[in-house]
Amino acid sequence: MNEKYVLFNMSGIIAVKNNRGEVVYYCQRGIKELRADEKIYAIERGIIDPRAFSLRELPKNLKLNYHACGASSKNENFNKNILYR
């Protein structure tokens, strides 16, 4: 099993601790599919950290463990409907 421990999940960035104890950063799945105007809107309102767009997308084969992190969000996929609320 390819389980990773989540350190935090906020503003589109997910930090995980891998099996070697290293911290690896990913962006939420779906962030890179946003249109340019949606990206600007999300960044200006603090919904997405602009650094998220330069990160690799979270691989689908990872099983994330949120048990000990107190993560603010447990959502690995970005829901663009949040931009239209």
Average pLDDT, consecutive stretches of 10 residues, N- to C-terminus, the chain (85 residues): 71 87 92 95 95 94 69 72 86
pLDDT at residue 71, rounded to an integer: 52
pLDDT at residue 73, rounded to an integer: 54
Residue at token pair 């599919």: 33
Say how far apart CA 28 and CA 75 lie, in whole Å: 8
pLDDT at residue 69, rounded to an integer: 55
8 Å CB contact between 24 and 14: no
Closest C-alpha among 84, 76, 82, 81 to residue 12: 76
Helices (H) and strands (E) in the chain, counts: 1, 4
Cβ within 8 Å of residue 42, ≥6 positions away? 12, 34, 48, 83
Q: What is the pTM of this model?
A: 0.81
pLDDT at residue 62, rounded to an integer: 80
pLDDT at residue 19, rounded to an integer: 80
